[in-house]
Amino acid sequence: MAAAVGGPLSTSLRRHEQRIALGVAAAALLVLGAAPLVALLAEIAAGWRPALEALGSARPIALLLRSLALALAVTMLSLAGGIPLGVLVGRTDARGRGLALLLQAFPVFLPPFLLALGWFQLLGARGLAGSPATSGLLFSEAGVAFVLVATFTPIVTILVALGLQALDPSLEEAARVAARPLRVVARILLPAAAPAIALAALTVFSLSLSELGVPMFLRVDTFPAAVFARLGGVDYAPGEAIALVLPLAGLKATGRVGQTNFGGLVVRTREEPGVVPASTMAVVRVRQNVFAESAAGLIATLGDPLGRSGSWEVGADFTYQTSHLHGDKNFSAGVWGLATGRSDLDRFDDGTALGLKVDYPNDLWDCSFSYRRIGDGFDPSLGFVLRRGINSYVAGCTYAPRPKGTFIRQMFHEFFPTLTTDLHGRWESYRVFMAPVNWRLESGDRFELNVAPAGGRLTEPFEIVEGVVIPPGAYDWLRYRVEVGTAAKRKLSGQATWWFGGFYTGTLDQIEVEASWTPSPLLTFLVNAERNIGRLEQGDFDLTLVGTKVRLNLSPNLLLDSFLQYDTAERAFGTNTRLRWTFNPRGDLFVIYNHNLREIQDRWRRDANELLLKLQYTFRR
């Protein structure tokens, strides 16, 4: 009896003791972490004016963007080198793998600036293998990234190898029976190591972002150096140092209560001297589900990113929707209206916009009609419209039968007319898009032939490219398109498009080519190119746009892709790198970096840098 009671009672006491111990430890950590932060915030209160001046300066933001971009580059390169090495060390029986790991991990036990000093002795202007060119490369952002990658890649290797040690060998052995080694790595090993990879990425990113010695030794200005200058320099200003690490941001919240969906966004931007003032902007959206499938909504915005005063916008919408028309058909009809105001729009007559849409989206017949009226003074600060002072009519219908017993999966016969007039009913532009042939084959391949008569009425000169200006007048032309595409399921797939025919006073050929190569589920390469060749009475032009994209699927929850593009018209080169980490079924972390260069006076100059961090998490009750 005593034994029977004693077991559960002792277990209950142990659980109670665990809760007490956990609470004490959490309280101690909170005090240890919060106390210094409170003291630092007190420094801001004591010297708030210099702190605000430091916070509003443009240089700290530029240094922060540089440091974040540098840390992101080091993290990506370290992952690219460390993950394969971690797989080799953790899941192969290659000779000397333990010694190789030990040699690679050696730099981890050294201060990073010692490695920078060593590379200086090798690649400096007077180094053993140095020259002015190698010295210039070492004393740059690329040199800093190189040294930090050499230092932190072993961290990735070790964590990935340790993460794979816990994998049941029988899973890998069973997979090898039916799949190639690369497929086993992509489908079994990398998903199993995903937590270790995420931990390695976070560790390397944080260490790279906070690294001080290497950038200072290699004479590269970074954000930690700016903070350190306020703490360890001649002008001791801890309040400014603390303010520098508190950049402005935004807050977004979305949710649902019963049949009501709501969302809100508030953003505060800092002043950019000589460009834009500081500004606060907000958006609120409420959507109420009504009937079985319909909804009504409201939206309101305040603020202007350029600091223009009196900016607001309000609107309402209603959509009736059903999936049971005549039994099993889809149908929807909706109306909406918006009104906006701003101090510089008072000279216009109409600051409203309204519209309606009727849609019948079904498999065999897909037809729709929409109408929009945009007032001449409708220019929302948080949003955009392509044209003001217009009436727009858009209709369309697709007949899509599925022939039986043929190699054709489905045919799409399309007819889409559009017309735009001014507010007095005078036509401004029109286009009739027709697809007499648009076939999807059972193989997944497709081909399409199109005809599209179009026209435009210009009330003022229209410059297509620099030096080619179309005079005012009414113009009509006829264009054609040929398009073929292969199934995306293939390792090598692509699409080619050729638009040709008339264009204003001459002809225009538009050639677009896209290709995708997926050598393994882990990696995908995409290439696209577009060329526009115009021959007009007012002049000729030839424009080319080339881009490439690399997508790395580290795991189902970790995706990295990078897009590069070059535009001959703007003489501009841009990159877009995006990391998405689904750390929880309810949460995602996005890291996006944009870098743009522009050729000015025969020299490439940095046009813009942008780093975006986005964290989204869904709370459910």
- How would you class 269 by CB atoms within 10 Å of its CB: exposed for 0-12, middle for 13-18, buried for 19 or more? middle
What values do phi and psi take at 247, rounded to 5?
Answer: -65, 155
**pLDDT band for position 1 (cuts 50, 70, 90):** very low
Nearest to 571 by CA among 541, 594, 604: 604
pLDDT of residue 57: 52
- Residue 607 corresponds to which amino acid? D
Residue 405 has pLDDT above 50, yes or no: yes
Distance CA 256, CA 286 (A): 10
Distance CA 146, CA 137 (A): 10
Nearest to 408 by CA among 371, 381, 374, 446: 446
Whether the Cβ atoms of residue 418 and residue 430 lie closer than 8 Å to each other: yes
Residue in this structure with the two tokens 């190639």, named with its chain if needed: 180
What mean pLDDT comes out for the span 300-313?
A: 89
Residue in this structure with the two tokens 């990735």, named with its chain if needed: 156
- Three-state SS for 320-388 is EEEEEECCCEEEEEEEEEEEEECHHHCCCCCCEEEEEEEEEECCCEEEEEEEEEECCCCCCCCCCCCCC
Q: Residue 101: which H helix or E strand, with range?
A: helix 97-105
> Judging by DSSP bridges, how do beta strands 294-302 and 312-325 pair with one another?
antiparallel
Residue 85 has pLDDT above 60, yes or no: yes
Contacts of 370 (CB under 8 A, 6+ apart): 355, 356, 357, 358, 392, 393, 394, 395
Cα–Cα distances in angstroms (integers) from residue 315 to residues 284, 285, 344, 559, in the given order: 11, 10, 20, 37
Whether the Cβ atoms of residue 369 and residue 358 lie closer than 8 Å to each other: yes
- How would you class 305 by CB atoms within 10 Å of its CB: exposed for 0-12, middle for 13-18, buried for 19 or more? middle
pLDDT of residue 55: 47
pLDDT of residue 242: 45
Q: Please state, rounded to an integer, the average pLDDT across all residues of the chain.
A: 81
Residue 75 has pLDDT above 70, yes or no: yes
What mean pLDDT comes out for the span 249-266?
A: 76
**pLDDT band for position 361 (cuts 50, 70, 90):** very high
pLDDT of residue 248: 44
Residue 422 has pLDDT above 90, yes or no: yes
Distance CA 113, CA 334 (A): 64
Whether the Cβ atoms of residue 332 and residue 356 lie closer than 8 Å to each other: no
What values do phi and psi take at 201, rounded to 5?
Answer: -60, -45
**pLDDT band for position 398 (cuts 50, 70, 90):** very high
**pLDDT band for position 449 (cuts 50, 70, 90):** very high
Structure tokens at 175: 């997979």
Residue 445 has pLDDT above 80, yes or no: yes
What mean pLDDT comes out for the span 67-82?
A: 87
Q: Per mean pLDDT, which range of 56-65, 282-291, 360-369, 456-465 is the poorest?
A: 56-65
When mean pLDDT is compared over 69-78, 226-235, 480-489, 588-597, the highest value belongs to 480-489
Distance CA 524, CA 518 (A): 4
pTM here?
0.60
What values do phi and psi take at 610, rounded to 5?
Answer: -150, 130
Which tops the pLDDT comparison, 511 or 95? 511
Residue 404 has pLDDT above 70, yes or no: yes
Which tops the pLDDT comparison, 229 or 524? 524
When mean pLDDT is compared over 71-75, 367-371, 439-443, 526-530, the highest value belongs to 367-371
**pLDDT band for position 534 (cuts 50, 70, 90):** very high
| Cα first-last separation, the chain | 42
Residue 107 has pLDDT above 80, yes or no: no
What mean pLDDT comes out for the span 545-560?
A: 83
pLDDT of residue 144: 87
What mean pLDDT comes out for the span 387-411?
A: 93
**pLDDT band for position 532 (cuts 50, 70, 90):** very high
3-state SS class at 590: strand
81: left (phi over 0), alpha (psi -120 to 50) or beta: alpha
Q: Per mean pLDDT, which range of 205-214, 245-254, 466-475 is the poorest?
A: 245-254
Residue in this structure with the two tokens 């009501």, named with its chain if needed: 260
pLDDT of residue 421: 96
Q: Per mean pLDDT, which range of 209-213, 222-226, 399-403, 520-524 is the poorest?
A: 222-226
- pLDDT (tens digit, 9 = 90+) per residue, 128-178? 777 888 888 888 888 888 888 888 888 888 888 887 776 666 666 666 656
Q: How many CA atoms within 13 Å lie on the side-chain side of 289?
A: 9
pLDDT of residue 15: 59
What mean pLDDT comes out for the span 451-476?
A: 92
Whether the Cβ atoms of residue 182 and residue 104 lie closer than 8 Å to each other: no
Distance CA 550, CA 524 (A): 6
What values do phi and psi take at 141, rounded to 5?
Answer: -60, -35
What mean pLDDT comes out for the span 375-386?
A: 88
Q: What's 276's DSSP letter? A: B
Number of Cβ within 10 Å of residue 353's Cβ equals 22
- Residue 154 corresponds to which amino acid? P
Whether the Cβ atoms of residue 446 and residue 484 lie closer than 8 Å to each other: yes
- How would you class 303 by CB atoms within 10 Å of its CB: exposed for 0-12, middle for 13-18, buried for 19 or more? buried
- pLDDT (tens digit, 9 = 90+) per residue, 32-50? 655 655 655 555 444 444 5
What mean pLDDT comes out for the span 53-81?
A: 75
Q: How many CA atoms within 13 Å lie on the side-chain side of 200?
A: 31
Residue 575 has pLDDT above 60, yes or no: yes
Residue 233 has pLDDT above 50, yes or no: no
